[in-house]
Amino acid sequence: MRKLSLVSLPLLFAAIDERMPLYLPVRSDGRVEFTRWMGGQDIAFTGNTDRSAKDFFFPQSEELMRLRREGKRVEVLDTRREAEDFVLFGVRPCDVKSFDILDSVFLAGPVDSYYATRREHGVVVSLACHLPSSTCFCSAFGIDAADPAGDVAAWLAGDTLYLRANTEKGERWLAAYDTLTEPSDENAIADLQQIRDKVSALPLAKLNTAVFGGDKLATFFDLPDWESLSVACLGCGTCTFVCPTCQCYDIVDFYTGHGIQRLRCWDSCMYSDFTKMAHGNPRTTQRERFRQRFMHKLVYYPAEHEGVFGCVGCGRCLRKCPQALHIAKVMRTLGKED
Ligand code: SF4
Ligand code: SF4
């Protein structure tokens, strides 16, 4: 465990960014987003970012390759660029957990080399949630907001930042800044229980997850509640785009006039043309599409992943859905909670 005084934090950030780009949550124009450090910014140590950190490993759109045509000759161009090392600082415990879910999809074989390269080059420094938002409910999914995962975990206590390496990569990374930090006792952070108490007192912390799980397909699939839950859904896809665990994408070919650019772009199971093929679309109503999204998080994903849910309780869909149709509402309705 290492520590440094908050007044020295800009020195640490400058040293980090000198070695590799540093991204951290910055408040600007009423939004909080991961932004490259450049000094003098309003860094958000509380709450969470509007967009999740998944963009850094699974960008909203990326070029996979190009095809160039000359006469009858078609050349395949590998457009991958060697990823550079980077640091994501201040990732909240829910978002760190979301990386496990993305890993289970992209690294499970066949390994997605685009994603894998970024994961290898990224150092994740998490930050315990001292002041969670009223829309947070990570504890309902068993995430400990006081002791987050990541390569390095950080805590703010008074005027001190504590840093503890969780992985070998984190140890190597933290050791590079030994001259700017000093050793600290593992027990120096006294307010872990205070953080847990705050998080478990949040309005949604007691959401009942026990009624969901991989064996509940028959229980929920045909419930009439899907109709009333989904009737106001606009199919806008906002919930999927802000969700740190949603990982659906489409691959599109874009004709440039000289060849083809092959792009991977986020897609949404809420869209009416999602997975549409020559024979048509497997889900023809918004009710079915809506059901798919929530059944995937609460039943299908746990069925394949030893009971782990596909939601981390970040609360973004609660804050961003224009129709207030979010996973907490779905869980309460299906679970017959008040
Ligand atoms: S649930 Fe809300 S955010 Fe998601 S597609 Fe429907 S209206 Fe849009
Ligand atoms: S479903 Fe909603 S609360 Fe759960 S991880 Fe996705 S955006 Fe966050």
Candidate from 233, 292, 331 with most ligand 1 atoms within 8 A of CB, to mutate: 233
Number of H helices, E strands in the chain: 12, 13
Beta-bridge mates of residue 253:
262
Q: Please name the residue whose Cα sits nearest to atom 6 of ligand 2.
A: 243
Measured CA distances, 206 to 42, 97, 216, 304 (Å): 33, 19, 20, 25
Dist. CA 217 → ligand 2 center (Å): 20
The pLDDT score that the predictor gives to residue 131 is 87
Kindly give the number of the ligand 1 atom that is closest to the alpha carbon of 317.
3
Angle at 216 between CA 210 and CA 222, to 5 degrees: 125
Dist. CA 130 → ligand 1 center (Å): 30
Q: Which residue range is the domain that position 248 belongs to?
A: 2-334
Under 8 Å between Cβ of 140 and 313 = yes
CA distance 138 to 318: 13
Q: How many other CB atoms sit within 10 Å of the CB of residue 85?
A: 12
Dist. CA 29 → ligand 2 center (Å): 24
Enumerate residues lining ligand 1, CB below 6 A.
233-239, 270, 321-323, 325
Q: How many residues does the chain have?
A: 338
- For the chain, the domain total comes to 1
Q: Do strands 61-70 and 73-77 pair parallel, antiparallel, or not at all (unpaired)?
A: antiparallel
Under 8 Å between Cβ of 334 and 115 = no
The pLDDT score that the predictor gives to residue 185 is 85
20 DSSP assignment? S
- Ligand positioned closest to the Cα atom of 271: 1
CA distance 70 to 231: 51
The pLDDT score that the predictor gives to residue 338 is 64
The pLDDT score that the predictor gives to residue 95 is 97
Dist. CA 228 → ligand 1 center (Å): 14
Task: With CA atoms as reference, report the closest residue to 224 among 97, 336, 73.
Answer: 336
The pLDDT score that the predictor gives to residue 214 is 96
The pLDDT score that the predictor gives to residue 188 is 75
The pLDDT score that the predictor gives to residue 190 is 67
Secondary element (H or E) of residue 89: strand 86-91
- Ligand positioned closest to the Cα atom of 246: 2
pLDDT in tens, the chain (338 residues): 999 999 999 999 999 999 999 999 999 999 999 999 999 999 999 889 999 999 999 999 999 999 998 888 889 998 887 779 999 999 999 999 999 999 999 999 899 999 999 999 999 999 999 888 999 999 999 999 999 999 999 999 889 999 999 999 999 999 999 999 999 987 777 678 888 888 989 989 999 999 999 999 999 999 999 999 999 999 999 999 999 999 999 999 999 888 899 999 999 999 998 988 888 888 999 999 999 999 999 999 999 999 999 999 999 999 999 999 999 999 999 998 76
Query: Which token pair is 228?
Result: 């009333």
Q: Please name the residue whose Cα sits nearest to atom 7 of ligand 2.
A: 243
Angle at 6 between CA 172 and CA 158, to 5 degrees: 110
The pLDDT score that the predictor gives to residue 134 is 92
Is residue 317 lining ligand 2, measured as CB closer than 6 Å? yes
Kindly give the number of the ligand 2 atom that is closest to the alpha carbon of 315.
3
Is residue 312 lining ligand 2, measured as CB closer than 6 Å? yes
Task: With CA atoms as reference, report the closest residue to 153 among 174, 172, 136.
Answer: 174
The pLDDT score that the predictor gives to residue 257 is 85
**In the Cβ-directed half-sphere of 270, how many Cα atoms lie within 13 Å?**
22
Which DSSP string corresponds to 262-310?
Answer: EEEEE--TTSTTTT-BTTB-S--SHHHHHHHHHHIIIIIHHHHTTT--S
Task: With CA atoms as reference, report the closest residue to 35 among 55, 15, 19.
Answer: 55
CA distance 49 to 31: 8
